[in-house]
Structure 1
Amino acid sequence: MTVSLEDVQRAAERIAGRVRRTPVIQVAPGLTFKLELLQHTGSFKPRGAFNRLLSAKESGELTGQGIVAASGGNHGLAAAYAARELGVPARIFVPTTTPAAKLGKLRTLDADVVEIGNEYAEAYQAALVEQEETGAVLVHAYDQPEIIAGQGTVGLELLDQAGSFDTVLVAVGGGGLIAGIATALGDGGLIAGIATALGDHAQVIGIEPAAAATMHRALQDGRPTDGPVGGVAADSLGARRLGTFAFEAVKGHHVRSVLVDDDSIVAARKQLWTDHHLATEHGGATAYAALVSGAYKPAAGERVVVVICGANTDPSTLT
């Protein structure tokens, strides 16, 4: 099963009124930020979570057993928030390495929080056991069609808000966000009448921490494969492998990968704060790190959008 533009459009209709239409700002000639860090719970994740839960409710899959999810933090916050808004119970499995800033917020959302394992993959295995035993709805962090379609609504908003643009830089972990945006823009560019300097559609580029390069590895290997998880952004971009649905989307829409190191991510996060007064987590600054470091160098006249995707951080660490 692949995710289509129509799936993204239906997701936009389904979650309308449940999520914020986040703003875009032009910060320099040819450079625009999409401020998804201003979304409910501090990241883009509620888009997919609401689409998954509302789809399950429509199909009758969502019952009194509620939902179960595994997360490094942001997805758990989104799933718990969506569950609370819809009045269903939520159990969220997180690794013991989850930052205190995310864990503290999660505990305010009426979810049952279970800390287990040292990384996302271990928390996910525990969530699968819970789902099997209880029949709760599994809300995957990135590898479900409903999740990808929900995240793709960021791309639909860009088509409406940002005018003409050539390139969108998107941070990659498990791949749900970039798969959704690539689906929305890959098919949507001509529909919206966008003619870019680089062709008929805006190009989507995945920016990945070199210490957790899921998409880069999948494109090299021809399929998603397990790899190491590490680096400063591992709490939000710490999947072991790219999602299966995400791989089909990025391959089908010719998305390419650019790698950035931890020093570049740290520098980009500091620059977002000092220059633009944006408080981001390391994962939220990863896409911008490609510009700060020169890992991605726009061509003359190229119009670039950077998705700033996460704000769940301890503000005291910004200076």
Structure 2
Amino acid sequence: MALHIETPLVESRPLSLIAERSVYLKLDALQPPGSFKIRGIGLACETYLARGAQRFISSSGGNAGLAVAYAGRRLGVPVIVVVPETTSNKAKELLRMEDAEVIVYGASWQEANAFAQSLLGETDAFLHPFDDPLLWQGHASMIDEVAQTGYKPDAVLLSVGGGGLLSGVVEGLQRNKWHDVPVFAIETEGAASFHAAVNAGHTVELDSITSVATSLGAKRVCERALQCAKEHPIHSVVISDKNALAACERFLDDHRILVEPACGVSLAMVYDHAQMLEGYKNILVIVCGGATTTIDQIRDWSGKNRIQPC
């Protein structure tokens, strides 16, 4: 039995009216750990357990770490999650609720990740947050679910961080023979490593992450994400933090679901930039989720961003 659930595919009347076209939502924010990550990480954890892993180790204080902790609890496997000092108390609380051992180490994810790797023993499995073919295979299941409903979109909107979701969605589109369905890959300013890679023709490392959408804060996307851009029609789009944050609040009002800015950026594409979707009548938005964000945090970030230009 899979660790993820089949999530609803629903028409968004508010977004459809705003965009003047049909907008459907794949609501992966409703996954038990709060995001799409459990699809791929759940598959990876089950696979590594079958190969003899006796402990799972992660270095993410966000959605990936929560998915590992959830999978470990469900499978009866102990989990260590190493998080940087910047990780919120809310995130640490959620990890401990899933019975994970939380270790705080370093000022950045890179330092936490290096420490997590140093803990690996012969019977441990390391769960990367986005760069693992098992993750992409698992994430592709969301497109399988959409195809099974009989609905075929003209375009798919999703956010890009490290590229795991993008890689999985493209795999899902291709295995359902939807090679003609383009993907709008959306990032925030200050975390646009995929956009930089597309422009350069190779992956590049950003100097720093300055966006509030920290779940998109991979300084370098995985190589597979860039390869997808060469194999499938993908449009890279960059949107402001301000728009992403506003979209989170608008989506909460419209659908009573709270998502993080890393998810809000895809919704902002519809709320604020629907003109870029000209020519596409049926839009599918991957509502990828985010469990560690609170509405107070979003409003606090919004206050800090009001003086910044869009």
Cα displacement (A) at 1:117: 2.5
> What residue number does 1:19 align with?
4
Deviation sequence 1:131-162 (CA, Å, 0-9, x none): 2x565101100001111111111121122236
Residue 245 of structure 2 aligns with which residue? 266
CA distance in 2, matches of 1:287, 1:99: 23
Is 1:112 the equivalent of 2:101?
yes
1:278 aligned partner: 257
Q: Secondary structure, in 3 states, of the residue corresponding to 1:189?
A: coil
Which residue pairs with 2:88 in the alignment? Answer: 99
Amino acid at match of 1:141: P
Corresponding residue for residue 193 of structure 1 = none
Cα distance between partner residues in 1 of 2:79 and 2:175: 35
User: For residues 79-119 of structure 1, what are the alpha-carbon distances to aligned partners after superposition, in whole Å with 9 as ceiling and x for unaligned?
Assistant: 01101111111111112222332221111111111122233
Contact (CA 8 Å) 1:182, 1:255: kept in 2 or not? no
- List runs of 5+ in structure 1 lacking aligned partners: 1-15, 191-199
Could you tell me how far 1:300 is from its partner in structure 2?
4.5
Runs of 4+ in 1 over 4 A off after TM superposition: none
Correspondence for 1:8: none
Deviation at 1:187, TM superposition (A): 3.7
Corresponding residue to 1:303 among 282, 288, 292 = 282
Structure 2: gaps of 5 or more residues? 300-310
Query: 1:47 is matched with which residue?
Result: 39
* Matched-pair contact (CA < 8 Å) for 2:155–2:280: no
For residues 29 and 216 of structure 2, the distance between their equivalents in structure 1, rounded to whole angstroms, comes to 15
Instruction: Tell me the distance in 1 between the aligned counterparts of 2:269 and 2:41.
Output: 28
Residues 1:249 and 2:225 aligned together: no
User: Which residue of 164, 167, 189 maps to 2:155?
Assistant: 167
Is 1:314 the counterpart of 2:306? The answer is: no
The 5-angstrom pairing of residues 116-155 of structure 1 reads 116-131=105-120, 133=121, 135-155=123-143
Change (3 A) 1:221 1:163: same
Matched position secondary structure for 2:26 = strand
Tell me the amino acid that sits aligned with residue 222 of structure 1: G
Give me the whole-angstrom Cα distance separating, in 1, the residues matched to 2:248 and 2:152: 26
Output the aligned Cα RMSD: 1.9
Residue number in structure 1 paired with 2:78: 89
List per-residue Cα deviations over 1:171-217 (Å, max 9, x = no partner). 11001011100111134135xxxxxxxxx621111111111112111
More displaced stretch, 245-254 vs 263-272 = 245-254
Normalising by structure 1, we get a TM-score of 0.85
2:183 paired residue among 194, 204, 215? 204
Query: Quick one: structure 1 residues 311 and 161, their matched pair in 2 at CA, closer, same or farther if it must change by over 3 Å?
Result: farther
Equivalent residue number for residue 57 of structure 1: 49
Change in Cα spacing, 1:217 to 1:72, as seen in structure 2 (3 Å) is farther
Query: What is the CA–CA distance in structure 1 between the aligned matches of 2:25 and 2:107, rounded to whole Å?
Result: 33
Q: Following TM superposition, by how much is the alpha carbon of 1:34 offset from its aligned partner in structure 2, in angstroms?
A: 0.8
Alignment partner of 1:231 is 2:211:
yes
Partners of 1:49 and 1:268 lie apart in 2 by 27
| Counterpart mapping for 1:73-84 below 5 A | 73-84=62-73
Change over 3 Å in CA distance of 1:187–1:169 after alignment to 2? same
Paired residues in the alignment total: 290
What residue number does 1:34 align with?
26
Match for 1:119: what amino acid?
S
Q: What is the identity, as a one-letter code, of the residue corresponding to 1:122?
A: E
